């Protein structure tokens, strides 16, 4: 087994390799003067089971091209099996047609990865479960919930907890976390906009008064919805609101928005390389998923069960 890393999230790749007690494969992933991506693998990979670790986060297209070219280089070097390990799957939010004449970009990216030569895909908390069906190769979708649940219980215990979904679409994810928190009660933030140009009305389904609220979601981008939900929960009498989000995209003024919000803390995983601003924030904490991904990689290499990780 070999671990090859792109430039998308090198600290996470090194942590995964450390968990597996392996060295990263010696390779050069660099740019020509015109920004073309060039990959050169400096050791023999013939007949090897190779895992390419690359988050397709910002800059999304550059990181995606790195992944595709790494896969192509490995295929041409006669690797036995190539697994694309994508802690964050870019374009995942474009999983359906929201209107006429719009693309389903998640399916296009799946086609590109398959055509490049990947034999398998390993992702973490895909935005939509149906993305697994966009691939014609085996696809494993890992869940960060066990890591989050362990952290929540270690810091808060299970007394007075309430798991909150920031929208109706995230109820399944919230219910799964609540089950791991000794069947904590569940609440939902119902977000409505009566007409265009009118601010959203946040209705809280469930009694959150005096509760330690845990907001759970897969992606935080601009942070607007999450911060508004936190404020609505505090207005409804919550004791505190902490958000646990798998993928901290945090674009634009998101970090500033979180710093000035009613959130007690935002906990994100290291699926995306955090910016300097994110690391300096006293309200944002990083939770590593390197052992989770590392153990999944070990089980794939050993041909043992990955799903039992979540039993």
SS3 (DSSP) at 62: helix
Nearest to 112 by CA among 58, 32, 41, 54: 54
Q: Any binding-site annotation on 43? A: no
Is 225 assigned a ligand-binding role in the annotation?
yes
Question: Do residues 191 and 233 lie in contact, with contact meaning Cβ atoms separated by under 8 Å?
Answer: no
**Is 200 labelled as part of a ligand binding site?**
no
CA distances (Å), origin 99, targets 14, 94, 95, 96, 284 = 41, 11, 12, 9, 35
Annotation says 195 is catalytic:
no
Is 94 annotated in some ligand binding site? yes
Q: Is 223 annotated for ligand binding?
A: yes
| Residue listed under structure tokens 């390197």 | 290
**Among 2, 80, 97, 191, the one annotated catalytic:** 191
Q: How are beta strands 49-53 and 161-165 bridged, if at all?
A: unpaired
Helix (H, G, I), strand (E, B) or coil at 146: helix
Q: Is 221 annotated as a binding residue?
A: yes
167 is in an annotated binding site: yes
- Is 304 labelled a binding residue? no
Q: How far is CA 48 from CA 2, 6, 22, 38, 227, in A?
A: 7, 18, 14, 22, 46
Say whether 302 counts as a known binding-site residue.
no
**Which residues participate in the annotated binding site?**
34-36, 93-94, 127, 167, 193, 217, 221-225
**Which residues participate in the annotated binding site for Mg(2+)?**
127, 167
**Which residues participate in the annotated binding site for ATP?**
34-36, 93-94
Name the residues annotated as catalytic.
191
């Amino acid at each position: 087994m070999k671990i090859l890393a792109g430039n998308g999230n090198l600290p996470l790749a090194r942590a995964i390799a450390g968990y597996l007690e392996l060295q990263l494969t010696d390779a050069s992933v660099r740019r020509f003067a015109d920004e073309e991506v060039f990959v050169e693998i400096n050791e023999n990979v013939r007949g090897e089971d190779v895992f390419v670790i690359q988050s397709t986060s910002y800059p999304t297209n550059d990181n995606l091209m790195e992944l595709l070219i790494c896969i192509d280089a490995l295929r041409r070097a006669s690797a036995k099996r190539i697994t694309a390990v994508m802690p964050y799957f870019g374009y995942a939010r474009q999983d359906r047609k929201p209107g006429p004449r719009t693309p389903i970009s998640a399916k296009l990216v799946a086609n590109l990865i398959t055509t490049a030569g990947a034999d398998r895909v390993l992702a973490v908390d895909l935005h939509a479960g149906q993305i697994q069906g966009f691939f014609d190769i085996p696809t494993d979708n890992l869940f960060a919930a066990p890591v989050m649940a362990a952290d929540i219980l270690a810091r808060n215990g299970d007394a007075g907890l309430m798991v909150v979904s920031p929208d109706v679409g995230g109820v399944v994810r919230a219910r799964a976390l609540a089950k791991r928190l000794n069947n904590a009660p569940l609440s939902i933030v119902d977000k409505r906009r009566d007409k265009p140009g009118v601010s959203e009305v946040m209705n809280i389904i469930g009694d959150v008064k005096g509760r330690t609220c845990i907001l759970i979601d897969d992606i935080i981008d601009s942070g607007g919805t999450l911060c508004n939900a936190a404020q609505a929960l505090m207005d409804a009498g919550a004791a505190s609101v902490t958000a646990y989000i798998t993928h901290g995209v945090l674009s634009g003024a998101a970090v500033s928005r979180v710093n000035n919000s009613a959130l007690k803390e935002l906990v994100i995983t290291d699926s995306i390389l955090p910016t300097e601003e994110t690391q300096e924030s006293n309200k944002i904490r990083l939770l590593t998923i390197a052992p989770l991904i590392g153990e999944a990689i070990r089980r794939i290499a050993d041909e043992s069960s990955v799903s039992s990780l979540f039993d």
